[in-house]
Structure 1
C-alpha cells in the first residue's frame, strides 16, 4: 500500500510541475463516502477519512448524518437513513460533484457486478476477484463470462496493460473456459494465466488464490463474496475486515457510475483502501475503459457466445442407456453441470458411458475402444 501511495504522490508532483509549466491545474478528484450503516460504528469512517486527508492525494466528501468530526471535511448532510444517503450519492455523481463513491450494501441493477481487490497472503500480491456482489446475468455461466470482461476492465484501469486471467474451479468453470476461448479466437484480446499446480491450465485451484497466480480470478458473485470475506478478515476472527480494498466497483455493459462497495464489517484500513481504489478508478476513467472492453468483446461476437450459454430447455425425451460395458477410459474437461447431459448425448449414439469424479474434477467414463469417437462426438456437441 505504501508503494502505491508513493507512486500517487509522485504523480501529484508531476502534475504540479506540468501546471507550473503550462499554467493549467486539473481539479482535484473528489470521492464520496457514506458514513452511516456500519456494524462497527462511525469511528471507523472517521479513521478512514482522516487517513486519506493526511495522505492528501484526493478529497473525501462525507455523505450522511451530522457528526462533529464531519466539520473537518466537505460534508453533505442527510438523515440517518441509508436510502437518503444513496439518493444523495447518486445525485452528486450524476451532477459531477464527486468522481466516485464508497458505500455499503448498494443494490446494483441486474447486469452489474462488483470487482473486488485483495492482497494474497503467500507473496503479498494484488489480485482482482471478478465478481463479489451483484450479478452480471441471471444465468450463472453467462455471468462468469461477463465477469471476466469486468475484471479485465478494472485491471486495465489500474494500470495492468495485459492482465492474466484465470477461472476458479467452481461449477461452470469448463463451460466458461470454452466461451472465453471462443471470444479470444474471435479477436478479443485475452491473456490467459495458468495454475501453478502440476497439471496447469487456466482453471485455478485454492492454492492459486493464496499465491495470486493470476491478476484476475473469474468466479460467480456468491463465491467471490465468500472469498472477499476470507481474505479480508481471516486474521481477525471474522468480525473486523482488516485487509484488502473492499468489494469494489459495480461494472457492466453501459454502466458508468463509479460506486465501490464495502462491508458493514469493513474496518478503517479497508475503508481507506476502498477510497483509494475509487480514486484510482476515477483517475483511470473506469467507465471509458469498461466501454472500450465491451465494444471489443461485442465485435468478437460476445452476444452469440452469451446466447450459447443460456440454459437449455428440458425435453421430455427419454434416453435409454445402451448395453452396459466395462468403462476404464476417462474423458476430462466436461463441466460438472453438463456431465449428465454429455452422458446421454453418447447414449443417443449408442455409446455406453458413465459419469464420475476424478482427482482433478468431473470425468466421463467410456470403454477404451470408444474413447476416440466419444471425444469427437463430445466436441461436436460442444461439451468439450
Structure 2
C-alpha cells in the first residue's frame, strides 16, 4: 500500500512537471488562544487533523509541535495576523473563535445527527444575515446551499425548521424556485411530509441543509456537539462553520470556546473542504442565479413597510369551524383571520400539531384558501 501511494505521488509530480501546471498545497490556519480548555486542546486537535491533503499553520504562542507556528502575544494580535495571512493568500482558510462578521455574513454549521449518524448542514449558527428575520432565513437557505455544494453535495435538499417565519420563508423559496432558481426541497420524515421540518427531522437529518434563524441554529449546534459530554465540552461535529455572504471572500470558520479537540480536528477538515470547493465563489454564483429569479423583488415584498390604514373590521356571524388551513405563518395568523372576516368568511385562529392554523366552516374551505392565497398569507 505504501509503495502504491508513493508511486501515485511520483506520477502526479511527473505529470505536473510535464504539463507545467503546479497546484499550491492548501494551507489552513488555526488560532490557538481563547479556548476554555487551553492552548493544548487546540494544538491536539490540529495534530488529530494532520493530513497529506493540506498543511496546518498555528497562529498563537510558541508550542512544542512539528507544525508551523506563527507567534503572537494576544487575541487581538492573533486576529490581525490571521487577517493578514488570509489577505496575502498565505493561508486559504482559518479556524478561530469569537470573530466579528459584518451584517450580511453568517456561519454555516455542520453536525452529525444522533438519530441516523448523518451529516447535516445548519444554516446558520452565528452572525446576522439580515436585520429582517424572513430575509435573513431566505439568505441562510442560499448560504447553506452554497456551503453544501462546496463540500461536494451537488444537489442539496433543503428543509425549513418550524420556527417563527417558516411559512413565509417557504413561500419566498417557492417563488424563487418557480422563477427558475435551482432548489430542491427535502421531505419531513413525519407522515404528513412537507419541507417544514420538526424536531424529529433534526434528529435524523432529514434535509441536507436545515434552514433556521441564527439563534436557534446556535443552540442546536451546541446541543448536537455536546449532548454526550454534559455541555462544557463539545466533542462531536465540525463546528459552527465558515462565514458566508453574498459577496464575502474570507474563509473564516468558527469554533466555540467550549469546542474540544475532536471538533477542532473536524473543523480543520471542514476548512479544507470549503477552501478546496471555494465556497465564496459558489455563494456569489448562487446569488447571481437567485437575482435572475427575482430575489430582490421577493425580498422587497416581505421587508417593505407600508403605512397601514386602521380599519374597523366587523366579525361575521359565528359558525362551526372544523376545516383547518395550514401554511400561515404565526406572525401573520391574526391578520389572516381578519382578512377572511373582511371578505365575509367567519374564521378563528388555532394551533395544530404542525403549527398555526386558520379554522373555517367546511362549506367555506375552498373560498377561504383562495382569499388567503390572493392576499399572500399562505403558499398552499
Task: Tell me the TM-score normalised to structure 1 length.
Answer: 0.92
Q: Does 1:68 align with 2:69?
A: no
Q: Tell me whether 325-334 or 285-294 shows the greater mean CA deviation.
A: 325-334
Q: Is the 8 A contact 2:62 2:69 kept in 1?
A: no
Unaligned 5+ segments in structure 1 are 1-9
- In 1, the alpha carbon distance for the partners of 2:103 and 2:177 equals 25
Structure 1 residue 117, shift from structure 2 partner: 0.3
Which position in structure 2 is the counterpart of 1:46?
Answer: 43
Q: Could you say what secondary structure the match of 2:64 adopts?
A: helix
User: How many pairs align?
Assistant: 371
Q: Of residues 326, 346, 361 in structure 2, which corresponds to 1:332?
A: 326
**Could you give the per-residue CA deviations for residues 172-198 of structure 1, whole angstroms, max 9, x where no partner exists?**
111111111100111110111100110
Q: 1:14 to 1:168 in 2, by over 3 A?
A: farther
Q: Is the 8 A contact 2:243 2:253 kept in 1?
A: yes
User: Larger deviation: 85-94 or 229-238?
Assistant: 85-94
Q: Evaluate the alpha carbon distance shift between residue 11 and residue 108 of structure 1 in structure 2; reply closer, same or farther with a 3 A threshold.
A: farther
1: CA distance, partners of 2:265 / 2:136: 29
Query: In the TM superposition, what whole-angstrom CA distance separates every residue of 1:230-288 from its partner, at most 9, and x where no partner exists?
Result: 11000000110000000000111111110000000000000010011001111111111
Return the offset for 1:366. 1.6
Residue 210 of structure 2 is matched in structure 1 by 217
Q: Name the residue aligned to 1:352.
A: 346
The alpha-carbon distance between structure 1 residues 83 and 137, as it changes in their structure 2 partners (threshold 3 A), is same
* 1:118-267 alignment runs, 5 A limit: 118-267=111-260
Q: Separation in 2 of the partners of 1:21 and 1:326?
A: 78
User: Measured at CA, do residues 292 and 320 of structure 1 come closer, stay the same or move farther in structure 2, by a change above 3 Å?
Assistant: same
* Pairwise CA RMSD: 1.8
Partner of 1:22: 16
Is 1:322 the counterpart of 2:319 in the alignment? no
| Residue 373 of structure 1 pairs with residue 367 of structure 2 | yes
Check conservation: 1:52, 1:58, Cα contact below 8 A.
no
Name the CA distance, whole Å, in 1 between partners of 2:151 and 2:97.
22
Structure 2 stretches of 5 or more lacking a match? none
| Partner Cα separation in structure 2 for residue 78 and residue 340 of structure 1 | 56
Q: Tell me how far apart the structure 2 counterparts of residues 49 and 166 of structure 1 sit (CA, whole Å).
A: 33
Query: Cα 1:352–1:16, aligned 2, differ >3 Å: closer, same or farther?
Result: farther
Q: Distance in 2 between matches of 1:305 and 1:252?
A: 18
- Is the CA contact (8 Å cut-off) linking 2:132 and 2:303 kept in structure 1? yes
Match of 1:296 among 281, 289, 300: 289
Task: Evaluate the alpha carbon distance shift between residue 311 and residue 11 of structure 1 in structure 2; reply closer, same or farther with a 3 A threshold.
Answer: farther
Q: For residue 83 of structure 1, what is the aligned residue in structure 2?
A: 76
* 1:109 aligned residue: 102
Mapped contact 1:16–1:25 kept (Cα < 8 A):
no
Secondary structure at the aligned position of 2:159 is classed as strand
Give the match for residue 362 of structure 1. 356
Q: In the alignment, which of 24, 31, 34 is matched to residue 34 of structure 1?
A: 31
